[in-house]
Amino acid sequence: MPLTDDQLAEIESQRQSGATTRRATVPALEDRLYRAIPLLDHGFIRVIDYMGDDGAIVQAARVSYGRGTRRVSEDAGLIRYLMRHRHSTPFEMCEIKFHVKLPIFVARQWIRHRMANVNEYSARYSVMDREFYIPAPEQLAAQSAANRQGRGDTLQGEEAAHVLALLRDDAARNYDHYAWMLNEAPDGTAVDGSRQGLARELARMNLTLNAYTQWYWKTDLHNLFHFCALRADAHAQYEIRVYADAILDTVKDWVPAAYAAFADYRLGAVTFSAQMLAVLRRLLAGEAVAQAGSGLSKREWGEMMGALGREKA
């Protein structure tokens, strides 16, 4: 469902307002401010506020007064050094605040990343919207046989159609029962004057986990990178991965030098254990190494060979 006319008008009003400032600003991120980026079927993210830029990372690392006569390449080189050697504190000097609309089950995964400030829409105070996440057919998959928390083959035909129908019908039925228990319209007025209705804090228990919630989520760049490293990974659940991907697009505009370092040293990198490194040295020396004599488990061996592009080695 697209944003309502009132929501679009509010966003446009926010985007038209402005303020003079002496703090560092990033034109590409300023252009993103308040604009909603649609995700899934009813969700979105939008940037509400931010502090700092690539220069703030460098300034914190050097504890200097300003940029001086340094070149951009020097700053980028320092940021890459900090990322490469896992110096986290300078990245904590940058912060960003998002407004996120997301399914409840995605929010329950997301909240595991505890190094953030969160304020969520309150179903004790307000009535939840009648919006539910229904997967696209290509995302409707069976349980993976190899991964207890992953997906396998996509469901097809009548089975897929029946699952989608169940998801829609159950969510709609439970919401209708929720609304009946409340006995009130979204504006708080009673629907049936002959009964009181159940308290909102109790009625909400009947909602399905694919109902949408919203929150403001503020975090620093170091913890944001940790979130993205896990949730933008190919093994992450699709529904949270689309949010992480959209956040990464925002980070690329906000702190391009830090994003490039993160992409190289985190997203595009792999970590080898001491045992894996010993096997790699043996392979580079020309030794024929098999899993049985490597000291690695079958799973570790498979992960290492996959990273080296030698799955059948």
Measured CA to CA, the distance from residue 149 to residue 237 in angstroms comes to 9
241: annotated active-site residue: no
Measured CA to CA, the distance from residue 111 to residue 227 in angstroms comes to 10
Long-range contact list for 245-250, CB < 8 A, 24+ apart?
Answer: 246/37, 246/39, 246/45, 247/45, 247/98, 250/29, 250/32, 250/45, 250/47, 250/96
- 3-state SS assignment for residue 36: coil
Measured CA to CA, the distance from residue 51 to residue 36 in angstroms comes to 19
Measured CA to CA, the distance from residue 133 to residue 125 in angstroms comes to 22
Please identify which of the residues 46, 204, 231, 241 carries the catalytic annotation.
231
Asked whether the beta carbons of 82 and 93 are under 8 A apart, the reply is no
Active site residues: 231
